[in-house]
Structure 1
Amino acid sequence: MGLDLEDGDPAGGESIPGYCGDLPAATAALLQEAAACDDERRAEFLILRAHHQSPFHFAVYLALYKFHFYRQHFEAAEQWMRAGLAASAQAAGFPLDAPAPARFAEPLAAAPRFYLFSLKALAFTLLRQQRPEEARAYLDQLQRLDPEDRIGAGPVRAVAAATA
């Protein structure tokens, strides 16, 4: 499935530290089982169960949108990306329908990092859906929030430029 969890053993502790913030061990176990599962329906069931356990955790949103994106279910992936953006915006302390801060403080905390990563993922997904103008709007927002390109949006920008 392509889910990467940083550090830790899901059987051995309270939470798993990682890119998306600490993940409860039970939720991490479900996501790891889904990542290793060959049965697509079972994998989706496990990820949705993880979502039920940890409904606002960024790693679960990441698993949900990666699951759908890699299967070319772009509309479903986009819905989960937008849900993850809303959750990370709320956690970062700004409403999704208002401008984000001009710049996120260093080092990037889990919520701003996931917000930026999700903007990049959404732009790429929109490009895959032949919606380049929308993708460029998100890439412009990403450029404003991450002018140093800490999350590596350059390749997505190159794809967007090639569709101009």
Structure 2
Amino acid sequence: MNLFTGESSDAFFGGEVPPLVRRLLDQARTAAPHEMESLLWTAQVSAPECLPIYYLLYKFHARLRQYEQAERAALKGVSVAARQAALRDDWRAVAAGDADFAAPGPARFWLFSLKALAFIYLRSHRADASRELVEKLRELDPDQGLGGEVIAALLQGSDNAR
């Protein structure tokens, strides 16, 4: 599924995937959840530099409310994307001029994965960690092209509910 158009697509968010990984991911599409998890992590081990796998992993685990595993996958994706985009290891030290975060590629995937982490932290009741990431999203994505304001609104709502 294309994230931006909602249309059915054969493309994977984050870039291309090697043929072996594509076969595993195609199998995962129709597998039961426990089989899907095994196939996705097998794909990750088979191609640890392949960014789309991390997206699929953290979405899979977050959907099942397995936030610890979702965090693990997102952090791995952030690390791999940072290396590929020549960004600093510590996301707090990354500045707006370090990469073109609006262009498709590892830097944009890195930023999108930070947004995913903010959501995972919010859902796992770590509002302060989520808030810190939302602030970094505001800094690096001032036009809010990735939708970080949605998480900011959720955080505001949870603050108001107290």
CA contact under 8 A between 1:21 and 1:58: conserved in structure 2?
yes
State the TM-score, normalizing by the size of structure 2: 0.84
> Number of residues paired by the alignment?
154
Give the 3 Å change call, closer, same or farther, for CA 72–42 of structure 1 in structure 2.
same
Q: Name the residue aligned to 2:50.
A: 57
Identical aligned residues as a percent: 29
Residues in 2 aligned to 1:106 and 1:75: alpha-carbon distance in whole angstroms: 27
Residues in 2 aligned to 1:3 and 1:50: alpha-carbon distance in whole angstroms: 21
SS of match in other structure, 1:23: coil
For residue 81 of structure 2, what is the amino acid of its counterpart? S
For residue 27 of structure 2, what is the amino acid of its counterpart? E
Selected match of 1:89 from 82, 106, 109? 82
Unpaired runs of 5+ in structure 1? Answer: 9-16
Deviation at 1:35, TM superposition (A): 2.0
Q: Is 1:31 the counterpart of 2:25 in the alignment?
A: yes
Give the 3 Å change call, closer, same or farther, for CA 107–18 of structure 1 in structure 2.
farther
Unpaired runs of 5+ in structure 2? Answer: none
Deviations 1:20-62 (A, max 9, x none): 112112212211221221x222111111221122112111111
Structure 1 stretches (4+) deviating beyond 4 angstroms?
none
For residue 134 of structure 2, what is the amino acid of its counterpart? L
Task: Provide the aligned C-alpha RMSD in A.
Answer: 2.3
Residues in 2 aligned to 1:106 and 1:77: alpha-carbon distance in whole angstroms: 23
Q: Name the residue aligned to 1:70.
A: 63
Residues in 1 aligned to 2:107 and 2:71: alpha-carbon distance in whole angstroms: 19
For residue 18 of structure 2, what is the amino acid of its counterpart? P
1:9-158 matches, cutoff 5 A: 18-37=12-31, 39-97=32-90, 99-103=93-97, 104-105=99-100, 107-158=102-153
Deviation at 1:143, TM superposition (A): 0.8
Higher helix share: 2
CA contact under 8 A between 1:31 and 1:46: conserved in structure 2?
yes
Give the 3 Å change call, closer, same or farther, for CA 139–101 of structure 1 in structure 2.
same
